[in-house]
């Protein structure tokens, strides 16, 4: 597609439930990133994929968070046993190997009630 | 951990005024990017600077990378209501970028 697509755009879930957030990057972009953004703050790094492998997952806050990119294109961020503190906008971005600068999707707003 | 501090945190100005936003760090960055974000959208890349002392212009926006590659500034001339948004600097390279704390700009018509 022309841009980075994230689904759903909004997700409300109950505390303790499992959620999956999907990111469809720009075709041909080998690098994919997940960030989390709280209201009025800058995005916070979660994980970076180069191809199918997670090259850097140092930003994942704990083992309830996991992300996959099995075919080197679409990625899914998975959150188990959600907590109210997980509420935020989850942003996905992609980039070509040789470029600086990311193209972001519009994000998924996750609300845990 | 590389931290990027932006100032001011909030800025409300009248249309036609000039403004400067600052991005500072104690760390050296291989490159620095500026993004603008509107509510409900992801950040949109405005510019990338990679050389110490580099100045780039994008219409009414002027970006400068510090000589030591630890800081940057964004200057907007004759601000327009369409410039309203959250301005984010981000430092790093290809593998991982650290975002600044953000500057929320409101331009009043």
3-state SS of chain A is CCCCEEECCEEEECCCCCEEEEEECCCCCCEEEEEEECCCCCCEEEEEEECCEEEECCCCCCCCEEEECCCCCCEEEEECCCCHHHCEEEEEEEECCCCCCCEECCCEEEEEC
Mean pLDDT of A68-95: 96
Confidence band for A99, pLDDT divided at 50, 70 and 90? low
Confidence band for B97, pLDDT divided at 50, 70 and 90? confident
pLDDT at A40: 83
A98 has pLDDT over 80: no
Confidence band for A66, pLDDT divided at 50, 70 and 90? very high
Confidence band for B94, pLDDT divided at 50, 70 and 90? low
- For residue B93, what are the CA distances in angstroms to A32, A110, B71? 14, 28, 15
Contact status of A7 with chain B (Cβ, < 8 Å): no
Mean pLDDT, chain A, rounded, equals: 93
Confidence band for A49, pLDDT divided at 50, 70 and 90? very high
B45: nearest CB among A31, A98, A101? A101
Q: How many pairs of residues across A and B have Cβ atoms under 8 Å apart? A: 62
Please report residues of A whose CB lies closer than 8 A to that of B95. Answer: 48, 50, 55-56
d(CA B19, CA B38): 18
pLDDT at B3: 84
Contact status of A103 with chain B (Cβ, < 8 Å): yes
List residues bridging with B10 in a β-sheet.
Answer: B104
Confidence band for B65, pLDDT divided at 50, 70 and 90? very high
Confidence band for A96, pLDDT divided at 50, 70 and 90? confident
Nearest Cα of chain B lies from the Cα of A111 at a distance, in angstroms, of 14
Q: Contact B42/A93, CB-based, under 8 Å? A: yes
Contact status of A94 with chain B (Cβ, < 8 Å): no
A100 has pLDDT over 80: no
Q: Contact A56/B96, CB-based, under 8 Å? A: yes
B85 has pLDDT over 80: yes
Q: Contact B33/A100, CB-based, under 8 Å? A: yes
Give the SS3 label for residue B83. helix
Residue B34 in tokens: 């500026």
Instruction: State percent of chain B over pLDDT 70.
Output: 96
Q: Contact A100/B41, CB-based, under 8 Å? A: no
């Amino acid at each position: 597609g022309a841009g980075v697509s994230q689904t759903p755009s909004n997700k409300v879930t109950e505390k303790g439930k499992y959620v999956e957030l999907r990111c469809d990057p720009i075709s041909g972009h080998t690098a994919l990133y997940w960030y989390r953004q709280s209201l009025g703050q800058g995005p916070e790094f979660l994980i970076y994929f180069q191809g199918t492998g997670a090259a850097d997952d140092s930003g994942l806050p704990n083992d309830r968070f996991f992300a996959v990119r099995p075919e080197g294109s679409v990625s899914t961020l998975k959150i188990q046993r959600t907590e109210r503190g997980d509420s935020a906008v989850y942003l996905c971005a992609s980039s070509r190997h040789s470029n600086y600068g990311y193209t972001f999707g519009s994000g998924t707003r996750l609300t845990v009630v | 951990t590389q931290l990027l501090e932006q100032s001011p945190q909030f800025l409300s100005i009248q249309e036609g005024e000039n403004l400067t936003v600052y991005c500072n760090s104690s760390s050296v960055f291989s490159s620095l990017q500026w993004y603008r974000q509107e509510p409900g959208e992801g950040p949109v890349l405005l510019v990338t600077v990679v050389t110490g002392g580099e100045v780039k212009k994008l219409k009414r926006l002027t970006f400068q990378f510090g000589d030591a590659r630890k800081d940057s500034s964004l200057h907007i001339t004759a601000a327009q209501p369409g410039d309203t948004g959250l301005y984010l600097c981000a430092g790093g390279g290809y593998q991982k970028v650290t975002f600044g704390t953000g500057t929320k700009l409101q331009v009043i018509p």
